[in-house]
């Protein structure tokens, strides 16, 4: 869980303002919504390489996917991916830590096993680094017509975790404040 603190203060122009701070301890926490991915309809991406900017993807079996539906596209990163990213394992990165990374898209067209997406891919999906998977997706309790102002998101990394030079290197703390 997390802690929400809202406070009011006067700025230099003597105007009152509210600020909201969201604090989290640990690595995962959430708000008022729940997302569900349906693994029973999951299918592998059937391409060696899907570039950044692509708006179509080929999958092994598109049978369970329909135009207008929301899907989750998930990279299945492996240890080679971490190694080839300037060996980020030196900072404690693991492929498993990125197993929950996914992007929501809406299917705008379907041609056989090719799905056209409403927005481009933002991370290359490469079979040599584990490939990717597509799943049906839905949000339960999705919020609509909201606004957020004057908010700071903070995480509490463990400051006792340092490298040999004394630099703080804790990577195991809250990473997502708001998912839009």
Taking only the tens place, the pLDDT of each residue in 61-106 is 999 899 999 998 988 888 787 777 666 666 667 777 666 678 899 9
CA distance 10 to 18: 9
Identify the helix (H) or strand (E) that includes residue 152.
Answer: strand 151-153
Q: How confident is the model at residue 29 (pLDDT cuts 50, 70, 90)?
A: very low
User: Hey, what are 159's tokens?
Assistant: 């400051």
pTM for the complete prediction? Answer: 0.62
Under DSSP, is residue 107 helix (H, G, I), strand (E, B) or coil?
Answer: strand
Helix boundaries (H) for 2-100: 79-84
User: Hey, what are 55's tokens?
Assistant: 């708006």
């Amino acid at each position: 869980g997390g802690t929400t603190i809202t406070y009011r203060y006067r700025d230099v122009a003597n105007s009152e303002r509210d600020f909201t701070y969201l604090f989290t301890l640990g690595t995962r926490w959430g708000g008022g919504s729940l997302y569900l991915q349906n693994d029973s309809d999951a299918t592998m991406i059937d391409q060696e390489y899907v570039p950044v900017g692509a708006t179509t993807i080929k999958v092994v079996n598109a049978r369970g996917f329909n135009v207008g539906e929301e899907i989750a596209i998930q990279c299945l990163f492996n240890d080679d991916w971490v190694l080839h990213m300037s060996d980020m394992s030196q900072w404690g990165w693991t492929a498993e830590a990125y197993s929950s990374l996914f992007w929501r898209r809406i299917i705008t067209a379907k041609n056989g096993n090719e799905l056209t997406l409403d927005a481009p891919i933002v991370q290359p999906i490469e079979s040599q680094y584990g490939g990717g998977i597509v799943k049906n997706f839905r949000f339960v309790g999705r919020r609509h017509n909201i606004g957020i102002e004057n908010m700071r998101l903070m995480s509490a990394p463990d400051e006792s975790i340092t490298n040999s030079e004394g630099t703080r290197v804790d990577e195991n703390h809250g990473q997502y404040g708001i998912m839009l």
